[in-house]
Amino acid sequence: MIPRKTVFLLACLSLLVAPRRAAAQIDPSKRQLIQFGYNQPLEGKGPIAGYAFYFLNQPGYLRTNITLRLAVAPVYLDSEIGFDQALGPNTDLAVGISGGGFADSHEEIRGGRYLTAESFTGHGAEISTSVYHLFNPANNIPLYGVLRVGYHFTDYTRDADNPAGFVIPDNRNSFRLRTGFRFGGREPLLTPALAMELSGWYEAHFYNQNGPFGFAGDRIAQSQTHFFWSRALLAYTFPKRGNYLATSVTAGTSLRADRLNAYPLGGALPLGSEFPLYLPGYYFGEISARRYVLAGGLYAHPLPFGLKNTWTVNVFGTTANVDYVSGMQQPGHWHNGVGGGIGYRSKDGVWQAMFAYGFGLDATRGAGTGAHSVGLLLQYDLETRQRLKPTFEPGVGPDKSRFMERLIRRLSIFN
């Protein structure tokens, strides 16, 4: 039998919230990255929040006009084959397959409390077809449009913590549609040296199964949900001193959102979702919003003793105004989080790391407010080259599978 400590170590190395697609083009750059991120609350019990995955983007795969994008994690695979100019000189076609364990699990966080009795496991799989069109091929900053259609299957299973009177949703098939545009973009790095993006999106989910679940049908799984959101971001490295500034504003609204389909705000994992909605100090996904506006920024200042490598002191913060999904209300509509920490980047750009502390000013904890957390982020670039040229986010956002969270909860390590 494997010792309990070894099981825990393997679980940590397997930490995963799985990759999700977000590409607004076929990425032309070869990439090999290993990413790791983890947030740990210092009080209260929240879902284990983190990711660990290997990402490969391989242009010229099999043929010169084919690109393979692959994100591999312990119990989840996200892949896409892209065909350059398949539908015309400025229009690409891609086919994607993704799926794995715990991909559609639901974590019930209400009033600052993580309710394991009302959380349950969901395994998922998806196939999709995407079209990417470049509207301005002569410009330095490209404008891409995207149209994606897909089929998604979810298999829900009960957890040991679910009481007998708690009913989980039926298994569901869904048709999904996304369309939108992206002007500029952001590389899948912890702190890309230079990035600019303006984007707007619409996504719809249509389900074959809907209806009540929970305790005596006290909550509803909707038959369809519609999301509308946009993002503006800017990241810049000052050339003389190496100071780094990143800022973003994201806003979204929805129609017929529910507990299973909402905007999740909370945590501080930059690759923790396709469009990360940071709130330092909060549990990952603590706030379930049907409508929100979120603004935030990060500033990193180099320390003088960096020598051959670069050490920075970092400060960051976000503020959000939200309207909640029905049944998930909290006192007040404003949520604020701040934090700081130390960053490291090796001279050759292969290694990058950040250790940070976050404080959620308005997070509900017991009878009061205020929550603390710490986090660790690591990046290893197997291509061993700096990327100072802005390209586009291939959409590695591990936000689906909950393998480690479930395993650690069963081991009762953080209980």
- pLDDT score, position 272: 79
Domain ranges, residue 9:
4-411
Tell me what pLDDT residue 385 has.
54
**C-beta separation of 67 from 82 below 8 A:** yes
Count of domains for the chain: 1
| Range in 100-104, 222-226, 398-402 the model is least confident about | 398-402
Grade residue 23 by pLDDT with cuts at 50, 70 and 90.
low
Q: What is the pLDDT of residue 2?
A: 34
Q: Give the C-alpha separation, 380 to 360, whole Å.
A: 29
Q: Give the mean model confidence (pLDDT) for residues 181-198.
A: 92
User: Closest by alpha carbon to 403, among 47, 6, 19, 15?
Assistant: 15
Q: Which residues contact 198 (CB under 8 A, 6 or more apart)?
A: 182, 183, 184, 230, 231, 232
Q: Coil, strand or helix: which one is 11?
A: helix
Helix (H) or strand (E) holding 152: strand 143-157
Mean pLDDT along residues 11-22? 41
| Predicted local distance difference test score (pLDDT) of residue 324 | 98
Question: Residue 375: left if φ>0, alpha if ψ -120 to 50, beta else—which one?
Answer: beta
pLDDT of residue 22: 47
Rounded average pLDDT over 168-185: 97
Across 355-378, average pLDDT: 96
Mean pLDDT, rounded, of the chain: 87
Helix (H, G, I), strand (E, B) or coil at 17: coil
pLDDT tens profile 132-144? 999 999 999 999 9
**Tens digit of pLDDT for each residue in 377-414?**
999 999 865 444 444 444 433 344 444 444 444 443 33
* Tens-place pLDDT, residues 261-301: 999 999 999 987 889 999 999 999 999 999 999 999 999 99
CATH number of the domain at 195, please.
Answer: 2.40.160.50
pLDDT value of residue 406: 47
Evaluate if residue 126 carries a pLDDT over 90: yes
| pLDDT confidence tier of residue 310, bands split at 50, 70 and 90 | confident
- Sign of the dihedral defined by the CA atoms of residues 186, 192, 195, 199, in that order: positive
The rounded percent of the chain whose pLDDT value lies above 70 is 86
